[in-house]
């Protein structure tokens, strides 16, 4: 069986399963890598760094013993010499305690050098005792004392210090290796997570556009004109900000898939009465709500698309749409009521504004600088002030071209098709409805108008416009001027390619 032989629903299920499996694999991979990084950090914090600290203390204690020897040599009265001998005794005791702490952290590479250190340290302490005895014999032995101090006592001390330095070098290298391994793991994890995130965005986008293709097929069948709304949805810059980074994609793309899927299930339920579409529609809607609160518009959009399709084709009425799809409408309504209750309990939303003037300005800016230029492939230019989202910066040319395209589409649609008034009203209504709640929740008198140019919250409008365009193509013709012909197919394919 070829991939092209599979039903769209099967492909959608496979895409969703791939996303779930990839998300689980990403979680397991991140967990294992974090464990490896944590092991390196624990090794660094519990072994190498404490060993370095204790070796520093040992080195300091040995230095104090050496200074006590010098003070003993230059002391002129017995009391001073006794004081230095007592000081040396306490320092040797402290050295023993420090060595016990260090021995608990020994690693295999350190053991041979530590054995050498113990031999040299023993020799050094023995020479220290001999030096103290020689120094205590008085000024008559002062030349011999100085010679011994600068000779054997110094050489044994230097050998001991050299061993401590070798041990410190081993621990410094171990700390560097642990740090380097942590950095390498972090870099590898970052790369793989970035790849997985990018791949998940692509799969989510594929899921959304396959769901849209399914619903367009439900409305239009496999006709060349299907390319018009689908190519517009695939390539319009209007949907780009909803896909530009993972957080935005994780919000919008599941909603787009749920929106297209529920609309398709609603149409099929009204047509066939198959109860399967009630369950799949409700599950898809619930999945969309888990990612984006804006998914609450899906039931109303699905009902509107169903009614408009029935209206333009003249195959039913508003009452029949309600009656045939009642199980789905009640299921979606029940889910919406339950979700609203949970949302109000969990989310503390206190940012509603009543600045209607600012809301109107933002809405108008989103149309003139956002929606209309994208009809001509705009905005052609983007700007960004970190850390804000990028926003569209259309020039006068693309804005004028966008208005011309809009005027041409409106004129041709009314000249070619009948019963399109409600379809256009639904498109205008959704443009307002999909933005006003966002502006009321996320704006104030200090909000910059560039918020309306980010286009992030218009990605669902792409799906709705594509579905409404498909519905419009089902309306009865006013004339035969643009009926299906090889010339029209060439024009449609060329326009889609150009866009």
Per-residue pLDDT of 174-215, as tens digits, reads: 778 777 877 777 777 777 777 777 787 888 888 888 889 999
* 255-264, 424-433, 477-486, range with the lowest pLDDT: 477-486
Scanning the structure block, which residue is given the tokens 């792409």? 462
Look at 307 and 237; give whichever has higher pLDDT: 307
Per-residue confidence at 499, pLDDT binned at 50, 70, 90?
low
Does pLDDT of 481 surpass 80?
A: no
Most confident of 101-110, 149-158, 324-333: 324-333
Does pLDDT of 248 surpass 70?
A: yes
Per-residue confidence at 384, pLDDT binned at 50, 70, 90?
confident
Does pLDDT of 357 surpass 80?
A: no
Look at 94 and 248; give whichever has higher pLDDT: 94
Does pLDDT of 31 surpass 80?
A: no
User: Does residue 391 sit in helix, strand or coil?
Assistant: strand
Pair 393, 381: CB distance under 8 Å: yes
What is the separation, in whole angstroms, between the first and last Cα of the chain? 34
Pair 415, 334: CB distance under 8 Å: no
What pLDDT does residue 82 have?
86
Q: Where are the beta strands (DSSP E) in 131-220?
A: none
What pLDDT does residue 351 have?
58
Does pLDDT of 225 surpass 90?
A: no
User: Does residue 477 sit in helix, strand or coil?
Assistant: strand
What pLDDT does residue 1 have?
45
Average of per-residue pLDDT across 272-295: 88
From the CA atom positions of the chain, what is the Rg in Å?
39
Q: Look at residues 364, 367, 396, 403 and name the one whose alpha carbon lies nearest to residue 380.
A: 396
Scanning the structure block, which residue is given the tokens 């060329």? 494
Percent of all residues in the chain with a pLDDT value above 90, rounded to a whole number: 15
* pTM listed for this prediction: 0.70
Point out which residues pair with 387 in neighbouring strands: none
Per-residue confidence at 349, pLDDT binned at 50, 70, 90?
low
Pair 390, 383: CB distance under 8 Å: yes
* 213-227, 288-302, 310-324, 474-488, range with the lowest pLDDT: 474-488
Look up residue 105 and give its two tokens: 């952290």
Does pLDDT of 243 surpass 50?
A: yes
Does pLDDT of 363 surpass 60?
A: yes
What pLDDT does residue 4 have?
47
What pLDDT does residue 142 have?
75
Look at 455 and 89; give whichever has higher pLDDT: 89
Point out which residues pair with 392 in neighbouring strands: 382
Q: What is the dihedral of CA 385, 389, 390, 392, to 10 degrees?
A: -110
Does pLDDT of 365 surpass 80?
A: yes
* 99-108, 175-184, 253-262, range with the lowest pLDDT: 175-184
């Amino acid at each position: 069986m070829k991939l092209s032989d599979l039903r769209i629903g099967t492909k959608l299920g496979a895409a969703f399963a791939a996303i779930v499996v990839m998300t689980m694999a990403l979680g397991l991979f991140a967990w294992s890598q974090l464990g490896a990084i944590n092991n390196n950090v624990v090794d660094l914090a519990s072994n190498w760094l404490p060993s370095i600290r204790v070796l520093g203390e040992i080195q300091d204690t040995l230095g104090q013993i050496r200074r006590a020897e010098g003070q003993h040599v230059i002391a002129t009265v017995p009391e001073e010499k006794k004081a230095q001998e007592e000081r040396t005794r306490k320092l040797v005791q402290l050295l023993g305690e420090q060595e016990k702490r260090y021995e608990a952290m020994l690693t295999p590479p350190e053991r041979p050098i530590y054995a050498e250190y113990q031999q040299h340290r023993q020799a050094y302490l023995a020479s220290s005792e001999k030096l103290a005895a020689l120094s205590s014999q008085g000024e008559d032995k002062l030349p011999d004392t100085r010679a011994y101090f600068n000779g054997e006592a110094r050489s044994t001390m230097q050998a001991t210090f050299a061993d401590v330095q070798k041990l410190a070098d081993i621990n410094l290298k171990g700390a560097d290796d642990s740090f380097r391994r942590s950095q390498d793991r972090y870099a590898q994890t970052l790369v793989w997570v970035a790849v997985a995130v990018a791949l998940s965005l692509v799969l989510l986008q594929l899921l959304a556009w396959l769901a849209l293709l399914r619903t367009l097929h439900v409305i239009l069948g496999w006709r060349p004109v299907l390319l018009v709304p689908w190519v517009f949805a695939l390539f319009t810059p209007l949907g780009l900000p909803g896909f530009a980074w993972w957080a935005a994609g994780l919000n919008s793309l599941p909603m787009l898939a749920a929106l297209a899927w529920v609309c398709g299930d609603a149409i099929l339920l009204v047509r066939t009465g198959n109860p399967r579409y009630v369950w799949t529609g409700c599950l898809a809607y619930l999945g969309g709500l888990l990612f984006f609160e804006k998914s609450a518009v899906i039931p109303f959009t699905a009902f509107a698309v169903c009614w408009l399709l029935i209206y333009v084709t003249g195959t039913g009425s508003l009452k029949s749409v309600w009656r045939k799809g009642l199980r789905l409408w009640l299921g979606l309504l029940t889910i919406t009521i339950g979700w609203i209750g949970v949302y109000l309990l969990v989310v503390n939303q206190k940012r509603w504004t009543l600045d209607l003037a600012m809301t109107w300005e933002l809405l108008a800016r989103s149309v003139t600088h956002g929606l209309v230029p994208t009809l001509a492939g705009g905005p052609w230019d983007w700007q960004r002030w970190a850390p804000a989202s990028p926003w569209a910066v259309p020039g006068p040319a693309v804005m004028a071209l966008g208005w011309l395209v809009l005027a041409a589409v409106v004129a041709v649609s009314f000249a070619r098709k009948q019963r399109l008034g409600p379809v256009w009203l639904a498109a205008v209504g959704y443009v307002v409805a999909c933005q006003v709640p966002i502006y009321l929740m996320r704006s104030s008198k200090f909000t910059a108008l560039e918020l309306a140019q980010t286009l992030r919250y218009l990605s669902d409008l792409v799906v709705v416009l594509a579905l409404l365009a498909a519905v419009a193509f089902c309306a009865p013709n006013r004339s035969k001027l643009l009926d299906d012909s090889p010339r029209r197919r060439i024009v449609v394919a060329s326009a889609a390619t150009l866009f």
